[in-house]
Amino acid sequence: MGSFAALLRKDLRLELRSGQSTLALFALSLLILVVLVFALSPEPRDRAEASAGALWVAMVFAGMLGATRALLSENENGCIRALAMSPVDPAMLYGAKLAAAFIFMTVAEAAAVLLVVLFFNLDFGPSLLRLAPPLVLGTLGFSALATLLAAISGRTRAGDLLLPLLAVPMFVPALIAGVKSSAAALAGAPFSAMSQWLGVLVAFDVLFVTLGGLLFEHVIGED
């Protein structure tokens, strides 16, 4: 855990000094939400579904940028290979990068939720608190998946193109569950209407985090 804390502390310290990742995530989320607001123009009865869909689309695309930024410093000058040769457990290295991507995305999502409330004319109330479970679960699962795939795509010339081609199709089932549960939360539906979709998100979180921890060592160890 000492190596995990040291790596995470380093990433957070770099972000606090520059602020590039969170600013880039916020700017991308803002751009996506503005485009979707003008493209959808939902009626009041469809506002919950439209706002939930817009929020998760912004989360997915901003999350790919967040995962890439979390690994950017390690890919420069072959630092990721040096870490692979060090006594640091690869699972701890993956966990630190996953935690950094998760924190970056969470900060950007908090701002995105406020923008969604303003753009879609939603009410500030308990429904926003009900958004927390699906968003946290979705952020964790997508961070786990995107961190692993960013490590793979970062080793190729067309990595920026390869990451969305790999991440988005694999995340589609979790994306559907996230949109459905978030729409139910914003519509004020009972928790039972969300429980099934939250179970899907939990299953995907377990799958993505487990696969990432098992495969990350092989990904960074390949020449």
| pLDDT tens per residue across span 16-31 | 776 666 777 777 778 8
Percentage of residues in the chain having pLDDT higher than 90: 9
pLDDT bracket for residue 108 (50, 70, 90): confident
- Helix then strand then coil, in percent of the chain rounded to 5, is 85, 0, 15
Nearest to 179 by CA among 30, 12, 61, 60: 60
Q: From the centroid of its chain, how far is CA 156?
A: 22
Average pLDDT taken over every residue of the chain: 79
DSSP 187: T
- Work out the number of other CB atoms within 10 angstroms of the CB of residue 193: 15
Angle formed by the axes of helices 132-153 and 192-221, to 10°?
A: 20
Q: What is the pLDDT of residues 130-177, one digit of tens each?
A: 888 999 999 898 888 888 887 777 666 665 677 778 888 888 889 899
The pLDDT score that the predictor gives to residue 20 is: 66
DSSP 43: -
Rounded distance between C-alpha atoms, residue 36 and residue 55, angstroms: 10
Angle CA(107)–CA(199)–CA(166) in degrees, nearest 5? 60
The pLDDT score that the predictor gives to residue 166 is: 80
Nearest to 140 by CA among 171, 168, 186: 171
Report which listed range, 62-66, 182-186, 200-204, is most confident. Answer: 200-204
